Amino acid sequence: MFRHVLKQSILLITLLSFSAIGAVENSQSFMGVGITDGTKYYAPLEFEPIFRLGVIFDEQHRVVANYSHGFSSGVTSIHLAYDYLYPLSESRRWQVFAGGSVGYKFGLYDVNDWTFGAQTGIRYQINDTMSADFGYRVFDTLDEWKEHELGQLGNIYISIDFEM
């Protein structure tokens, strides 16, 4: 029961935080969907859907809440990521990003744990209201990090984000 309440509380706090942050001047909130090649230490290859909610501050700083679920592995991951966005052109259509993340994973055999990691990638502004991310993320749990090889910890993802 406690685990269920903890999971729901983390999700609710994250959503409420983004509602408050989105009201800050010079910020743009967005939501998005995507797909990742999954957490390889629970399944060899499993595509997982990603749901995202985020805010970009001053065109250079981004905070994103990500939710993903592996249907075969049963692993659900919620994490909060910070990215620094660096423009590759004057139009700012192409940007590279890098940052860190912290979160919580749960669901597989009741092995619940906090996660930490980093991500990098490229962002393309398709039009005024839509952008796409292509990135690489590495993350692991606090308890199990010594048990996995680096190749098992990373995943590739692609997402489409829509400004709100």
pLDDT of residue 1: 47
Query: What is the value of pTM for the model shown?
Result: 0.78
Q: How far apart are CA 107 and CA 100, in angstroms?
A: 23
CB 33 within 8 Å of CB 49: yes
Q: Which residues pair with 8 in a beta bridge?
A: none
SS3 41: coil
pLDDT of residue 26: 77
> Which helix (H) or strand (E) element contains residue 33?
strand 27-36
Each residue's pLDDT expressed in tens, for the chain with a length of 164 residues: 455 555 555 555 555 555 555 556 678 999 999 998 865 555 566 788 999 999 999 889 999 999 988 877 777 888 899 999 999 989 889 999 999 999 888 876 656 677 888 999 999 999 999 999 999 988 776 665 555 554 456 788 999 999 98
Burial class (CB in 10 A: 0-12, 13-18, 19+), 159: buried
**Residue 17, by phi and psi: left (phi above 0), alpha (psi -120 to 50) or beta?**
alpha
pLDDT of residue 133: 97
Q: How far apart are CA 19 and CA 46, in angstroms?
A: 32
